[in-house]
Chains A and B, each alone.
Chain A
Amino acid sequence: MNRNNFNNNSYDDDIVRKFAIITLVWAGVAFIVGLLAALQLAYWPANTTLEWHTFGRIRPLHTNAAIFAFAGNAIFAGIYHSTQRLLRTRLFSDILSRIHFWGWQLVILCAAISLPLGFTQGKEYAELEWPIDILITLVWVVFAVNFFGTLYKRREKHMYVAIWFYIATIITVAILHIVNSIAIPFSFMKSYTVWAGMQDALVQWWYGHNAVAFFLTTPFLGLMYYYVPKIINAPIYSYRLSIIHFWALVFIYIWAGPHHLLYTALPDWLQTVGMVFSIMLWAPSWGGMINGLLTFKGRWNSLRTEPVWKFLIAALTFYGMATFEGPLLSIKSVSAIGHYTDWIIGHVHGGALGWNGFMIFAMLYYIVPKLWNTELYSKKLAEQHFWLGLVGIILYYVSMLVAGVTQGLMWKAVDDNGLLVYPEFIETVVRIMPLYWIRALGGLLYIAGFVLMIYNIVKTIKSSKTALTDTPIANLVNENVNDGKPRLIEGYATKFSILALLAVLVGSVIEIYPTLNIHRYVNPEVTTLPFTALEQEGRDLYVREGCYLCHSQQIRPLVDEKLRYGDPSTIEESIYDRPYQWGSKRTGPDLARQGKKYPDMWHYRHMLDPREIQPKSIMPAYPWFAKKSIDYSQIKKKLNVMKNLGVPYTDEQVQNADFDAQAQAKLIADGLKQQGVTENIEGKEILAMIAYLQALGQKGKK
Chain B
Amino acid sequence: MTTIIFMVAVALILSVSFVFCYLWALSAGQFNDLETPAHRILKDDFILKVTERKNHEQK
Looking at the complex, which one of A235, A240, A273 makes contact with B31 (CB distance below 8 Å)? A240
Tell whether A485 pairs with B29 under 8 Å between CB atoms, given A88-B44, A269-B7, A506-B14.
Answer: yes
Q: A477 — which chain B residues lie within 8 A by C-beta?
A: 40, 43, 47
Q: A86 — which chain B residues lie within 8 A by C-beta?
A: 41
Q: Are B51 and A474 in contact (CB under 8 A)?
A: yes
List the A residue with the shortest CB-CB distance to B48. A474
Looking at the complex, which one of A239, A267, A489 makes contact with B37 (CB distance below 8 Å)? A239
A309 in the interface (beta carbon within 8 A): no
Beyond A86-B41, A235-B35, A239-B34, 11 additional pairs, beta carbon < 8 A:
A160-B37, A162-B41, A229-B41, A239-B35, A240-B31, A267-B3, A269-B4, A472-B51, A474-B47, A475-B51, A488-B33
In the complex, 5 of the A-B residue pairs with CB atoms within 8 angstroms, ordered by the A residue number, are A88-B44, A235-B42, A243-B30, A273-B7, A477-B47
B58 in the interface (beta carbon within 8 A): no
Q: Are A481 and B51 in contact (CB under 8 A)?
A: no
Tell whether A230 pairs with B34 under 8 Å between CB atoms, given A475-B51, A488-B29.
Answer: no
Q: A475 — which chain B residues lie within 8 A by C-beta?
A: 47, 51
Q: Are A230 and B3 in contact (CB under 8 A)?
A: no
Number of chain A interface residues as a range: 35 or more
List the B residue with the shortest CB-CB distance to A232. B42
Q: What is the 8 Å Cβ interface bit string for chain A, positions 212-246, against chain B (1 contact, 0 not)?
A: 00000000000000100110011110111001000
Interface centre among B4, B32, B45 (most CB of A within 10 A): B45
Residues of A within 8 A of B (CB): 85-86, 88, 156, 158, 160-162, 226, 229-230, 233-236, 238-240, 243, 267, 269, 273, 471-472, 474-475, 477, 481, 485-490, 506, 510, 514
A489–B24 Cα distance when bound, in Å, is 11
List the A residue with the shortest CB-CB distance to B50. A475
Minimal beta-carbon separation of A558 from chain B (angstroms): 23
Q: Are A481 and B40 in contact (CB under 8 A)?
A: yes
Q: Are B36 and A481 in contact (CB under 8 A)?
A: yes
A50–B1 Cα distance when bound, in Å, is 54
B38 in the interface (beta carbon within 8 A): yes
B10 in the interface (beta carbon within 8 A): yes
**When A and B form their complex, what is the total count of cross-chain residue pairs whose Cβ atoms lie within 8 Å?**
80
B56 in the interface (beta carbon within 8 A): no
A17–B26 Cα distance when bound, in Å, is 42
B59 in the interface (beta carbon within 8 A): no
A229–B42 Cα distance when bound, in Å, is 7
Tell whether A236 pairs with B38 under 8 Å between CB atoms, given A477-B43, A486-B29, A488-B30.
Answer: yes
Q: What is the 8 Å Cβ interface bit string for chain B, positions 2-13, against chain A (1 contact, 0 not)?
A: 011011001000
Q: Are B41 and A226 in contact (CB under 8 A)?
A: yes
A248–B43 Cα distance when bound, in Å, is 29
Minimal beta-carbon separation of A177 from chain B (angstroms): 26
Q: B48 — which chain A residues lie within 8 A by C-beta?
A: 471-472, 474
Q: Are A489 and B30 in contact (CB under 8 A)?
A: yes
Q: Are B37 and A158 in contact (CB under 8 A)?
A: yes
Looking at the complex, which one of A474, A487, A506 makes contact with B44 (CB distance below 8 Å)? A474
Q: Are B32 and A486 in contact (CB under 8 A)?
A: yes
B19 in the interface (beta carbon within 8 A): no
Q: A238 — which chain B residues lie within 8 A by C-beta?
A: 34
Q: What 4 A-B pairs are tightest by C-beta distance, nearest first?
A: A486-B29, A235-B38, A474-B44, A239-B38
Minimal beta-carbon separation of B39 from chain A (angstroms): 5
Minimal beta-carbon separation of A202 from chain B (angstroms): 15
Q: A471 — which chain B residues lie within 8 A by C-beta?
A: 48
B23 in the interface (beta carbon within 8 A): no
Q: B4 — which chain A residues lie within 8 A by C-beta?
A: 269
Q: A236 — which chain B residues lie within 8 A by C-beta?
A: 38
Interface centre among B4, B10, B48 (most CB of A within 10 A): B48
Tell whether A85 pairs with B29 under 8 Å between CB atoms, given A236-B38, A475-B51, A481-B36.
Answer: no
A486–B32 Cα distance when bound, in Å, is 8
List the B residue with the shortest CB-CB distance to A510. B10
Q: A489 — which chain B residues lie within 8 A by C-beta?
A: 25, 28, 30
A510–B43 Cα distance when bound, in Å, is 43
Minimal beta-carbon separation of A429 from chain B (angstroms): 39
A333–B42 Cα distance when bound, in Å, is 46
Minimal beta-carbon separation of B9 from chain A (angstroms): 11
Tell whether A486 pairs with B14 under 8 Å between CB atoms, given A229-B41, A233-B42, A474-B44.
Answer: no
A161–B39 Cα distance when bound, in Å, is 12
List the B residue with the shortest CB-CB distance to A237. B38
A243–B43 Cα distance when bound, in Å, is 21
Minimal beta-carbon separation of B40 from chain A (angstroms): 7
Q: Are A485 and B33 in contact (CB under 8 A)?
A: yes
A238–B51 Cα distance when bound, in Å, is 30
A162–B37 Cα distance when bound, in Å, is 11
Q: Are B41 and A160 in contact (CB under 8 A)?
A: yes
Interface centre among A230, A474, A489, A514 (most CB of B within 10 A): A474
Q: A267 — which chain B residues lie within 8 A by C-beta?
A: 3
Minimal beta-carbon separation of A662 from chain B (angstroms): 47
Minimal beta-carbon separation of B58 from chain A (angstroms): 15
Q: B47 — which chain A residues lie within 8 A by C-beta?
A: 474-475, 477
Minimal beta-carbon separation of A127 from chain B (angstroms): 33
A486–B41 Cα distance when bound, in Å, is 21
A229–B45 Cα distance when bound, in Å, is 13
Q: Are B29 and A240 in contact (CB under 8 A)?
A: no
Q: B28 — which chain A residues lie within 8 A by C-beta?
A: 486-487, 489
Q: B25 — which chain A residues lie within 8 A by C-beta?
A: 489
Minimal beta-carbon separation of B57 from chain A (angstroms): 15
Q: Are A160 and B40 in contact (CB under 8 A)?
A: yes
Q: B51 — which chain A residues lie within 8 A by C-beta?
A: 472, 474-475
Q: Are B14 and A235 in contact (CB under 8 A)?
A: no
Q: Are B40 and A230 in contact (CB under 8 A)?
A: no
List the B residue with the shortest CB-CB distance to A476. B47
Minimal beta-carbon separation of A9 from chain B (angstroms): 11
List the B residue with the shortest CB-CB distance to A273. B7
A504–B28 Cα distance when bound, in Å, is 23
A226–B42 Cα distance when bound, in Å, is 9
Minimal beta-carbon separation of B54 from chain A (angstroms): 10
Minimal beta-carbon separation of A380 from chain B (angstroms): 25
A486–B45 Cα distance when bound, in Å, is 28
Q: Are B32 and A269 in contact (CB under 8 A)?
A: no
A328–B43 Cα distance when bound, in Å, is 41
List the A residue with the shortest CB-CB distance to B38. A235
A514–B33 Cα distance when bound, in Å, is 42
A521–B40 Cα distance when bound, in Å, is 54
